[in-house]
Structure 1
Amino acid sequence: MELGILGPLVVSDPRGVRMPQAPKQRQLLALLVANANHVVTVGECVEELWDGAPPASAVQTLQTYVMKLRKSLPPEPDGSTRIHTRDQGYVFRTRPGELDLERYETEVRAARAAAAGGADELAAARFAAALRIWRGEALEGLALGPVLRTTLVGVTESRLGVLEQRIEADLRLGRHHELLGELRMLTARHTGHENLAAQFMVAFYRCGRQADALAAFQRLRAVLTEQLGVEPSPRMNRLHHAVLTTDPVLDPPRRSAAPMALDLADAPIRRAS
């Protein structure tokens, strides 16, 4: 079976799509798949489906939804249902490799291990492979209740973090020219994100565009001060000073074990004698 939450909900097998048409049944199925192999309590199901205002018949209605979902899904090889009743709740059982979130997390672990070992070519490739598993926003197009929204916060944050780590690996590999367009788009979308701004500054600087690197800092500072009432962090200010003084610490790396973009601000400033 193919199961996916990293984009529109996918539940299918070789015989076709297995998703119900009824919105609340589809929402319940998404909740169970997003928490595959873990118990989702009856209370969590009710909260997700009725968002704090359940009808008196909520538990009975939930049981009906679960019954219909069980009938719509193909059985496991031993003939048992995919949805098991456990500990005052339900568990959607999956097998290894069926769920896109599991495949994504496997790629991310491999990428981080490669990065920790200094294998930046492999790390960049595995981070990129993890990101390609995404087909859009998590559960795109589905009405989300409070439980699913909370569940997806960490998944969505992980995607951005993995993207940052892939860019860091590319910077260590000297791919700053190739990164400018992507970083321009990302910093426009995440205007107050310091690490993305730092990566943009470093990429600009290594392309010989010191003025653009300084302008990127000023745009970040304007957003932070005007919208949040805070100044850039000390690390960003040190990075800004390094760009101003053309500190050699910002030069393209000669080996893959180079520091992360924002960490460059922590390196000692080298002054001309």
Structure 2
Amino acid sequence: MRYEILGSLRVDTGSSTSTVNARNMEVVLATLLVRADEVVPIPQLAHEIWGDAPPRRHLAAIHVYISQLRKLLADADRPESVIATRSPGYILRLGPHDRLDSEEFKQLMQSGRKAARAGRPEEAAAAFEAALELWRGPALGDLRAGPILEGFTTWAEEARLECVGMHIDAGLASGRHRELIGRLYSLVAEHPLHEAFHRQLMIALYRSERQADALRVYRSAHRILTAELGIEPGRALREVQRAILAADHRLDLAGPPRADRAEQPADLDGRAGITERTVARRSAGDARTGHREAA
């Protein structure tokens, strides 16, 4: 049995894929899946379905939903019911051959992190890409319920964005900066307050010999953050901007300046007073020198 909640809720039995059409039953199944292998008390199930105003006969209604779900999830190769009664509620037990896509996502994320820490960016990128391919849309689709499912969907979206960021970091470490630029521009437009995407785009542009464009991304991020939140860019973004102005070697494929390094008072390689105008003048001078040599 395969359960999918990284998108609209689906159950794949191997021979067919089923959905739950009744909203209340879908909420019950989704809640049990989010808390798989844990007992979910009946009052919590009721709160997920009806909030603070359950109907008078809500206990009987929940029993009916559980009975219908047991029929839906019946497995001829599995004598015991997938959903078991355990005081003070119910538990959905994952069998040894059952799969839950959110758990697969977590495992792939862990594998990707391990490979990245070991200095294997290609392997890390493959794991993160496989994790992202599990997503079919927003977690649980358009299903809205109580705090358990709300907490899960919030976590899932944050985890997905984290996975996207780590996938891009692995791509940058593998030297694929040019092919990542278009995707990063789209991510910056979609998540303008997500500083990591601005930082990654600046690095990708710089490594593609587009320093001026990289600095424009910083100015754009600065305007957005100050206008929307009234804050300055964070340390990581500021350090990348300073490193670009200083043509710091740490922006090469070895990786960007780490955000946990101590702040540098002027610049990162001892040349004080470097500005964006200096970069522009240097670029123009390099171009003129190239023309003279060509002549």
| Deviation digits for residues 15-57 of structure 1 (CA, Å, limit 9, x no counterpart) | 4344332211122112212222122221221111012221122
Q: Which residue of 1 aligns with 2:164?
A: 163
8 A contact 1:238–1:265 mirrored in 2 = no
State the partner residue of 1:239.
Answer: 240
Amino acid at match of 1:147: I
Please tell me the residue identity of whatever aligns with 1:83: I
Structure 2 CA distance for partners of 1:101 and 1:63, relative to 1, 3 Å: same
Q: Residue 211 of structure 2 aligns with which residue? A: 210
Structure 1 residues 157-236: aligned runs within 5 Å: 157-236=158-237
Q: Distance in 2 between matches of 1:125 and 1:266?
A: 32
- CA–CA distance in structure 2, aligned partners of residues 240 and 138 of structure 1: 35
Cα pair distance change 1:62/1:260, threshold 3 Å: farther
Q: What are the Cα deviations for residues 138-191 of structure 1, in whole angstroms up to 9, with x where unaligned?
A: 111334333211122212211111111111111111111011011011111110
Shift >4 Å, 4+ stretches = 264-268
Preserved contact between residue 2 and residue 11 of structure 1 (Cα < 8 Å): yes
User: What's the secondary structure of 1:263's corresponding residue?
Assistant: coil
Change (3 A) 1:114 1:39: same
- CA distance 1:266–1:132, shift in 2 (3 Å): farther
CA contact under 8 A between 1:120 and 1:172: conserved in structure 2? Answer: yes
SS of alignment partner, residue 99 of structure 2: coil
Change in Cα spacing, 1:234 to 1:20, as seen in structure 2 (3 Å) is closer
Within a 5 Å distance, the mapping from 1:98-109 to structure 2 comes to 98-109=99-110
- 1-side partners of 2:17 and 2:128: how far apart? 29
Equivalent-residue separation in structure 2 for 1:21 and 1:162 (angstroms)? 31
Q: Distance in 1 between matches of 2:238 and 2:112?
A: 30
8 Å Cα contact 2:144-2:150 kept in structure 1? no
Matched residues, percent identical? 35
- Between 130-139 and 227-236, the greater mean CA deviation after superposition: 227-236
TM-score normalised by L of structure 1: 0.90
Which residue identity is paired with 2:170?
A: A
Q: Secondary structure at the match of 1:36?
A: coil
Q: Which residue of 1 aligns with 2:12?
A: 12
| Alignment partners' CA distance in 2, 1:179 and 1:154 | 26
Take 1:264 and 1:200, find their aligned partners in 2: how far apart are those partners?
20
| Cα 1:209/1:267, change in 2 over 3 Å | farther
Contact 2:32/2:92, CA 8 A, preserved across alignment: yes
Alpha-carbon distance in 1 for matches of 2:159, 2:130 = 14
Q: Which has the higher contact order (CA 8 A, sep 6+)?
A: 1
Bigger CA radius of gyration = 2
- Structure 1: distance between partners of 2:35 and 2:43: 15
Question: Does the aligned pair in 2 maintain the 1:249–1:264 contact within 8 Å?
Answer: no
Q: Which amino acid aligns with 1:263?
A: A
Instruction: Find the aligned partners of 2:248 and 2:14 in 1 and give their Cα distance.
Output: 58
Once the two structures are TM-superposed, the CA of residue 272 in structure 1 deviates from its matched residue by 4.8
Q: 2 CA distance for matches of 1:45 and 1:51? A: 9
Q: Name 2:39's counterpart in structure 1.
A: 39
1:218 positional shift: 1.4
Q: Which residue identity is paired with 1:164?
A: G
Q: Quick check: 2:199–2:236 contact (8 Å CA) kept in 1?
A: no
**How large is the Cα RMSD of the aligned pairs?**
2.1
Q: Is the Cα–Cα contact under 8 Å of residues 198 and 261 in structure 1 kept in the other structure?
A: no
Q: Work out whether residues 235 and 259 of structure 2, in 8 Å CA contact, stay in contact via their aligned partners in 1.
A: no
Letter in 2 for 1:229: G
Contact 1:238 1:266 in 2 (8 A): no
Q: Normalising to structure 2: TM-score of the pair?
A: 0.84
One-letter identity of the residue aligned with 1:82: V
> Could you say what secondary structure the match of 1:127 adopts?
helix
In the alignment, which residue of structure 1 is the partner of 2:135? Answer: 134
- Give the SS at the match of 2:85: strand
For the 8 Å contact 1:239–1:265, the answer to whether it is kept is no
Change in CA separation of 1:74 and 1:260 when aligned onto 2, cut-off 3 Å: farther
Residue ranges of structure 2 left out of the alignment (5+ in a row): 273-295
Distance 2:20 2:193 in 1: 40
Do the aligned partners of residues 160 and 266 (structure 1) sit closer, same or farther apart at CA in structure 2, a change above 3 Å counting?
A: farther
